[in-house]
Structure 1
């Protein structure tokens, strides 16, 4: 057995790879884009937030990282094609896609309108499907890696989150299905299922203690997750270290979705 790869530094984990990261202007997407680049990848950072991408670009320049921003509404017709064309123009054919863009929300089925349901499906499932479809059309003979974003809410039943949980559960199902279809082409398809993570979208409610009873006190690791916790999982699944892993939804939630825990 050749152990030469075992001595490779973590800093070079993604060396030589070209990655597309969506939702990259803030939160988990931004942390993932920076971590990918810090570990050697060339990164096309995609988001609708132009100011956020400009800030990311400044951070990348300060750190000497190879990150280019691309402003795109992923729900628009033809968005996936435009993103992959931009990546090919700037860096060449991508071999990693991290589908992180999405939108969380609350509401039981009985009070969810058709418009609300369509919105959450579009933001969380349709965009991931279209980007993944384009990836398998663009990846070369060497294959590639797609990492989707599911959610702990898509793994277990949680009250008051019908449209979001349904969409994220479907992302996990799509992940398994595409893994079955495209494994023979050496295309791996996995997903990360984050639990509660402190981002600009959640920070205020976390500080107000709104998640304490439902989440923080009901898992064995009691701290709130950080974007870096999730980015580390994306980096592993994108790398050759995960070359024999496909069709998996990896919970990164402090044990919230995988244990039954009673706070002492």
Structure 2
């Protein structure tokens, strides 16, 4: 585990919570699932990649606190399967962390219908459909949904039309679900990661492709780590955020709101 996650861990913050965490086989999702367990939650870890989930389970080695489900969340029956798996293993969920997604580049004129459908299905559709499947099972005292948008869903970034559109939809539906579910005491928020070092981004980071456009142009001139996002997700999932709903929190070192100049 990254040392930042260890140093910021708050044991007991999520005690008594039952959480579904998607995208848990690697990157931000894996660190979030690990952090949730260490903060006291029981976690249903969901991902397409069974090998990565097995590595997570071996690392945590606490079967009473972690159960894995390998499933393609874009499959028609996947959301109901995930919800039922949680009910059978741990009981009703009161936290849903929609982290699964796929980044990618592509300007408008080069975007095919298949590209657009893919990014909408993976980044927006999975969160929408899993929320729809799990919300009926939330307990009477409610809980929290935390979605994953992106800084690309908050500001315009050249050459990212289908991905940005999908993440913008996540930001929008976060507000909508907060309005719809507030009377049931279900809070709905989102995090918007900036540049984070994950298996999907590491090669480009190492090549310096983001040095000028991202890293050096923001007030906090380092590349983010998955723990930066996981800690924000854990906060929004906890009672520490009991009066926060309908917001998307940028976790990007200031990139989405400022520009830094030496």
Matched residue, 2:80? 81
Distance 1:176 1:44 in 2: 25
Alignment of 1:6-17 (within 5 A): 10-17=10-17
Deviation (angstroms), 1:65? 7.4
Offset of 1:106 from its aligned partner? 0.2
- How far the C-alpha of 1:10 sits from its partner, in A, is 2.3
Matched, 1:109 2:133: no
Aligned to 1:128: 127
- Give the equivalent residue in structure 1 for 2:212: 213
- 4+ residue segments displaced more than 6 Å: none
Secondary structure of the residue that 1:145 maps to in structure 2? strand
The residue aligned with 1:118 is 117
- Could you tell me how far apart the structure 2 residues matched to 1:118 and 1:217 are? 34
42-51 vs 65-74, greater mean Cα deviation? 65-74
State the partner residue of 2:226: 227
Which whole-Å CA distance do the structure 2 matches of 1:213 and 1:107 have between them? 20
| Contact 1:99/1:147, CA 8 A, preserved across alignment | yes
Could you list the per-position Cα deviations for residues 147-192 of structure 1 after superposition, in whole angstroms to 9, with x for gaps in the alignment? 0000001000000000000000110000000000110100000000
- Maintained 8 Å contact 1:31/1:228: yes
User: Is this contact kept in 2: 1:219–1:261, CA < 8 A?
Assistant: yes
Aligned twin of 2:3:
none
Is 1:55 the equivalent of 2:50? no
Compute the displacement of 1:136 (Å). Answer: 1.7
* Structure 1 position 259, deviation (Å): 1.1
Aligned residues: 254
Distance in 2, Cα, partners of 1:205 & 1:216 = 12
- Residue number in structure 2 paired with 1:39: 39
2-side partners of 1:71 and 1:64: how far apart?
16
Unpaired runs of at least 5, structure 2 = 1-8
Query: What is aligned with 1:70?
Result: 69
Q: Is the 8 A contact 1:38 1:65 kept in 2?
A: no
Q: How many Å apart are 1:78 and its aligned residue?
A: 1.4
TM-score by length of 1: 0.94
Query: Any residues of structure 2 matched to 1:174-193 within 5 Å, and which?
Result: 174-193=173-192
Provide the aligned C-alpha RMSD in A: 1.2
Who is 1:23 aligned against?
23
Distance change >3 Å, CA 232–CA 65, structure 1 → 2: farther
Q: Which runs of 5+ in 1 are unaligned?
A: 1-8
Provide the C-alpha distance between the structure 2 equivalents of 1:200 and 1:113, rounded to a whole number of angstroms.
26
Contact 1:37 1:65 in 2 (8 A): no
- Cα offsets for 1:108-157 (capped at 9, x unmatched): 11110000010000000000100111122111201110000000010000
For residues 49-99 of structure 1, the C-alpha deviation after alignment (integer angstroms, 9 at most, x for no partner) is: 0000000000011x7872111101000001110001001111111100000
Equivalent position SS for 1:12:
coil
207-216 or 63-72: bigger deviation: 63-72
Is the CA contact 1:219–1:259 (under 8 Å) kept in the aligned structure 2? yes
**CA 1:75/1:64 → structure 2, altered by over 3 Å: closer, same or farther?**
closer
Distance in structure 2 (CA, Å) of the matches to 1:155 and 1:261: 18
